[in-house]
Every structure is written in structure tokens, then in C-alpha cells.
């Protein structure tokens, strides 16, 4: 019976290159994640409900955090608008409204549809843009790795 033999060369060289590029890989991936987070936040701010602007103005993207095991970028809304942000984002179902005196809170309690003051805005204002853009991330990470490994 015929046999086939293969000799793979250069694995040590590749492993050394990867070890030497780890710091640059982490930097490039962090930058890519941060840019992606900023783009998601920009898209989110186009659909976040706006009445006074307080909620929209709390939108933020934190700088990359590298724990050694993973690199993360956190984005969200909060600060003084946190109760409102959560209530509106989660479609006002099952949550305690931040104020029973707001007109939209009264509308929900009466079973009515909310008429947002900003057309196209409403619940899932952060989750929606993230889901729409998430398929871009693998290719962008791949490109970051390529940049980091360039000689």
C-alpha cells in the first residue's frame, strides 16, 4: 500500500512570530473593538428616544479593558438616566417605571401605544443597532490580526 509523507517546516518560526506579536495583536484588537463600539453607539443615538436629551447624552463607549484573558469594550447608557434607559430599552414590560407621572408611563398603564416624539425611536435602541452590525465584527477582527502580523 502506498504511503504519503509530509514535512511541515516553519512552525517554530510562526509560533515565535505570534508570541512576538501578541502585544501588538492586543492593541489592534482593542482599537478595532473600540471603533466598532463607537459605530454601534452612533447608530444607537439615531434611534434612542429623545425628549429632553438626558438619555441620549449618557451614551458612552469605554476604552478597551485588557484582562489578559480577554479584551472587552463596554458601551451603554446610564448615569442619571439609568432607570429610564432600562425601562425604555426593555419595552417597558415588567419593569417599574421611573416616574408614574410621565405621559408615556400613563399610556403604557392604560394599555395604549406610545407615540415617541422622535420618529423611528423606541425600545431596543442599543440592542437593535448591535444586532444589525454584529456580522461585521469577525472580518474586522481578522483585519486587525493581519495588521498586527505585518512585518
Phi, psi of 5, rounded to the nearest 5 degrees: -120, 140
Give the DSSP per-residue string, 25-68.
Answer: HHHHHHHHHHHHHHHHHHHHHTTS--SSSHHHHT-EEPPPEE-S
Nearest to 74 by CA among 42, 41, 98: 41
Q: Residue 73: which of 40, 48, 103, 47 has the closest Cα? A: 40
Strand partners, 75: 61
Please report, in tens digits, the pLDDT of each residue of the chain (151 residues total): 677 787 888 888 878 877 878 889 999 999 999 999 999 999 999 988 877 777 888 899 999 999 988 999 999 988 776 777 776 766 655 555 556 666 666 766 777 666 666 777 777 889 999 999 999 999 999 999 999 988 7
85 neighbors 99 (Cβ within 8 angstroms): no
Amino acid at each position: 500500500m502506498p504511503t504519503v509523507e509530509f514535512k511541515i517546516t516553519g512552525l517554530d518560526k510562526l509560533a515565535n512570530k505570534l508570541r512576538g506579536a501578541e502585544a501588538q495583536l492586543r492593541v489592534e484588537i482593542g482599537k478595532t473593538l473600540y471603533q466598532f463600539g463607537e459605530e454601534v453607539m452612533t447608530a444607537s443615538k439615531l434611534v434612542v428616544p429623545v425628549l429632553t436629551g438626558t438619555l441620549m447624552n449618557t451614551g458612552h463607549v469605554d476604552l478597551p479593558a485588557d484582562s489578559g484573558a480577554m479584551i472587552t469594550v463596554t458601551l451603554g447608557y446610564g448615569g442619571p438616566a439609568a432607570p429610564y434607559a432600562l425601562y425604555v430599552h426593555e419595552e417597558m414590560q415588567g419593569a417599574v417605571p421611573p416616574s408614574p407621572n410621565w405621559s408615556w408611563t400613563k399610556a403604557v398603564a392604560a394599555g395604549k401605544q406610545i407615540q415617541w416624539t422622535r420618529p423611528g425611536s423606541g425600545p431596543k435602541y442599543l440592542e437593535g443597532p448591535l444586532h444589525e452590525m454584529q456580522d461585521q465584527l469577525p472580518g474586522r477582527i481578522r483585519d486587525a490580526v493581519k495588521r498586527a502580523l505585518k512585518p
